[in-house]
Amino acid sequence: MHVLIIGAAGMIGAKLTQRLIKDGTVAGKPIDALTLVDVVAPTAPKGAEFKIRTEAADLSTPGVAERVVADKPDLIFHLAAIVSGEAEADFDKGYRVNLDGTRYLFDAIRKIGGGYKPRIVFTSSIAVFGAPFPDAIHDEFFETPLTSYGTQKAIGELILADYTRRGFFDGIGIRLPTICVRPGKPNKAASGFFSNIIREPLAGHEAVLPVSEDVRHWHASPRSAIGFLIHAAGIDGEKVGPRRTLTMPGVAATVGEQIAALRKVAGDNVVARIKRQLDPVIVKIVAGWPRNFKPERSVALGFKAEKDFEEIIRIHIEDELGGTFVK
Amino acid sequence: MHVLIIGAAGMIGAKLTQRLIKDGTVAGKPIDALTLVDVVAPTAPKGAEFKIRTEAADLSTPGVAERVVADKPDLIFHLAAIVSGEAEADFDKGYRVNLDGTRYLFDAIRKIGGGYKPRIVFTSSIAVFGAPFPDAIHDEFFETPLTSYGTQKAIGELILADYTRRGFFDGIGIRLPTICVRPGKPNKAASGFFSNIIREPLAGHEAVLPVSEDVRHWHASPRSAIGFLIHAAGIDGEKVGPRRTLTMPGVAATVGEQIAALRKVAGDNVVARIKRQLDPVIVKIVAGWPRNFKPERSVALGFKAEKDFEEIIRIHIEDELGGTFVK
């Protein structure tokens, strides 16, 4: 099994790489080779029992995708994307990377032909949905994104399905929940606070909560996200049928429930590090975001997320903090 | 008002041109100039009280769209498309014309800038939906096309909405029902029989019905289609909101109901010209098509179709046959 990860230098890409090295197999087959591609060449991790090659490649440049898939990987994770905020700020770049780059990749695979038909796992996003929503977004709810990023992801889903239907490859799209608790430094993404208010207090730092406690959102841990990717790599495409992109399971939690879970896991002192400071801009942005889903298809197909937000916090402490935190 | 029709040489484009000439106004304003564009230059009709310019232009060639919109039309009807069968048979051509061509047009408008913000009316299709369906497809049902044409139209809808949201233009998409009774010769489109079994018997010719009488489908007359375009040209964008494409109203009729209506309007002799000859290929294709809709939004916004199939037949006799038929 030759595996290619595009967008391997990001948080998800790096964790997926680690998981593949640890497992040594994917989709029920041993891994022979792993190629890691990103705009800046990813660092090749140590300890793998298979060959790892890293490559700097910008798929939004015409011709680059052909080179990247020339050695016909059996399994391709396409994680590369300009994130929501940047795709909104830089219109051309968002369409170039998220739409053209994806299409160049899909076309490069198509043009190889000769029976080459890799599994492609494409990460979409709940940003394909735009308010107003039903209480829980079901599997047949329409996609009316309110950002250019969401638009580009929705287009990626459509092309993935059509190219799969035409037999050019075997694509599975997965709509990731907001990943929480996202490790690393606080960032300026509007969604950053969902992770900040857990990660920073557990590390002994203050965090700002810019919205009210009744804001509800859809979360899954980084560990679950990697689990979704691995499961999507091995899933039977026949069982998925022509509707190739699935909303992943997750935990619907209000900010109040997040804080209650933090209190239960880590105590009052930790919770006291959350400072409330309403930010009208973030309040407004978040009001347009999905709050809850009913992802029956992905659950039936065996995708699994956490059962509650407490579990999400415990996973963060286990995976990122070595099992401990600042009391 | 300067109006531009792209795809003006087709059946809908030609009828829209006639209607604009007859009305002399659109969206409540007098028409000063009309530009007719198609891959082959359309014939300029006589009798208009405003200037008509015709132009041969293939929008799927980079750079052409810039030329076509350079004189900043106030209202653009974008009807140009490779039809379903051809987009399925010629993959590259379908994506080049239906996706790239549309994007080139939208980008050419965007790049003019300086406050230029025309109304664009974009014709989408019920082919954006793919089986299985609910009994009647409601306005929030998701788009999972089962053809490349449907995929390309769904992508057009997404880009139209995003570009409108960003303020580059003011787009309205309309999902046309199957146009029935389509004038002209019988064609080989899989949907052709819906019109053939009405038009040909009324003209004294035999027609083949390749499916069973319980096949249900969604129809509107050419006259209604032009009405939708004209109404979309003048509709208040604020009332439409961010979900820019609307499923048009229509008549859900089974083939049996079509034939019963024909009998009522034209009698047994005419109906006897329909020959039943099942075609398994067409049966299979048609099984994946939408049958019925509940287009509440477009109805609330004032779009109007026929009340039943009988009215569709009477309109055909009136508009295409000078009020008479072969008994």
CA distance B196 to B282: 14
pLDDT of residue B288: 86
Q: Is residue A26 part of a domain?
A: yes
CA distance B24 to B26: 7
CA distance B183 to B319: 10
Residues of chain B found within 8 Å of residue A93, distances taken between Cβ atoms: none
Q: How far is A39 from chain B (nearest CA, A)?
A: 25
pLDDT of residue A78: 98
- Whether B64 and B39 have beta carbons less than 8 Å apart is answered as no
Cβ burial A97-132 (10 Å sphere, 16+ → b, else e): bbbbbbbbbbbbbbebeeeebbbbbbbbbbbbbbee
User: Can you read off the two tokens belonging to residue A158?
Assistant: 């459509």
Range of the domain at A138: 2-176+222-247
Q: Is residue A158 part of a domain?
A: yes
pLDDT digits (tens, 9 = 90+) for B38-51: 999 999 899 999 99
Which of B84, B95, B141, B144 best tests the A interface by mutation, with the highest count of A CBs <10 A? B144
pLDDT band for position B280 (cuts 50, 70, 90)? very high
Please choose, from the candidates B69, B35, B37, B70, the residue with its C-alpha nearest in 3D space to the C-alpha of residue B53. Answer: B35
CA distance A143 to A75: 27
The enclosing domain of A24 has a CATH number of 3.40.50.720
Q: Is residue A185 part of a domain?
A: no
pLDDT of residue B26: 98
Helix axes B309-320, B255-266, angle to 10 degrees: 50
Residues of chain A found within 8 Å of residue B91, distances taken between Cβ atoms: 166
Judged by average pLDDT, the poorest of A83-92, B227-236, B305-314 is: A83-92
pLDDT of residue B145: 96
What is the pTM (predicted TM-score) of this model? 0.97
Candidate list A95, A104, A116, A149, residue with the active-site label? A149
Q: Is residue B11 part of a domain?
A: yes
Residues of chain A found within 8 Å of residue B144, distances taken between Cβ atoms: 161, 242-243
pLDDT digits (tens, 9 = 90+) for B291-303: 999 999 999 999 9
DSSP conformational letter for B43: P
User: Residue A142: which of B143, B155, B242 has the nearest Cβ?
Assistant: B143
Average pLDDT in chain B:
96
Say whether B158 and A151 touch across the interface (CB within 8 A).
Answer: yes
Q: How far is B96 from chain A (nearest CA, A)?
A: 12
By the CB < 8 Å criterion, does B136 face chain A?
no
In this predicted structure, the answer to whether residue B185 has a pLDDT above a threshold of 90 is no
Q: Is residue A69 part of a domain?
A: yes
Q: Label the pairing between strands A2-6 and A33-38.
A: parallel
Q: Is residue A116 part of a domain?
A: yes
pLDDT band for position B84 (cuts 50, 70, 90)? confident
* Residue-by-residue pLDDT tens, chain A, 327 positions: 999 999 999 999 999 999 999 999 999 999 999 999 999 999 989 999 999 999 999 999 999 999 999 999 999 999 999 988 899 999 999 999 999 999 999 999 999 999 999 999 999 999 999 999 999 999 999 999 999 999 999 999 999 999 999 999 999 999 999 999 999 988 777 899 999 999 999 999 999 999 999 999 999 999 999 999 999 999 999 999 999 999 999 999 999 999 999 999 999 999 999 999 999 989 988 888 899 999 999 999 999 999 999 999 999 999 999 999 999
Say whether A158 and B155 touch across the interface (CB within 8 A).
Answer: yes
Q: How far is CA A106 from CA A71, A121, B115, in A?
A: 15, 12, 36
Q: Is residue B290 part of a domain?
A: no
By the CB < 8 Å criterion, does B242 face chain A?
yes
- Whether A78 and A102 have beta carbons less than 8 Å apart is answered as yes
CA distance B235 to B174: 12
Please choose, from the candidates A17, A4, A176, the residue with its C-alpha nearest in 3D space to the C-alpha of residue A84. Answer: A176
Distance, C-alpha A124 to centroid of its chain: 7
pLDDT digits (tens, 9 = 90+) for B105-143: 999 999 999 999 999 999 999 999 999 999 999 999 999
Which of B91, B140, B149, B240 best tests the A interface by mutation, with the highest count of A CBs <10 A? B140
In this predicted structure, the answer to whether residue B188 has a pLDDT above a threshold of 80 is no
Whose structure tokens read 């009020």?
Answer: B323
pLDDT of residue B190: 83
- Whether A28 and A73 have beta carbons less than 8 Å apart is answered as no
- What are the beta bridge partners of residue A221? none
User: Can you read off the two tokens belonging to residue B60?
Assistant: 């799927």
pLDDT of residue A212: 97
pLDDT of residue A187: 74
Number of domains in chain B: 1
Which residues 182-241 of B have a C-beta within 8 angstroms of A? none
What percentage of chain B has pLDDT greater than the value 90?
A: 93
Predicted ipTM? 0.96
Q: Is residue A144 part of a domain?
A: yes
Mean pLDDT of B281-292: 90
B254 SS3 class: strand
pLDDT band for position B2 (cuts 50, 70, 90)? very high
pLDDT digits (tens, 9 = 90+) for B50-65: 999 999 999 999 999 9
Is B104 known to be catalytic? no
A25 SS3 class: strand
Q: Label the pairing between strands B245-247 and B29-30.
A: unpaired
Residues of chain B found within 8 Å of residue A175, distances taken between Cβ atoms: none
User: Residue B242: which of A130, A140, A243 has the nearest Cβ?
Assistant: A130
**Within a 10 A sphere around the Cβ of B292, how many other Cβ atoms?**
16
By the CB < 8 Å criterion, does B29 face chain A?
no
Say whether A143 and B143 touch across the interface (CB within 8 A).
Answer: yes
User: Can you read off the two tokens belonging to residue B174?
Assistant: 């309309």
In this predicted structure, the answer to whether residue B85 has a pLDDT above a threshold of 90 is no
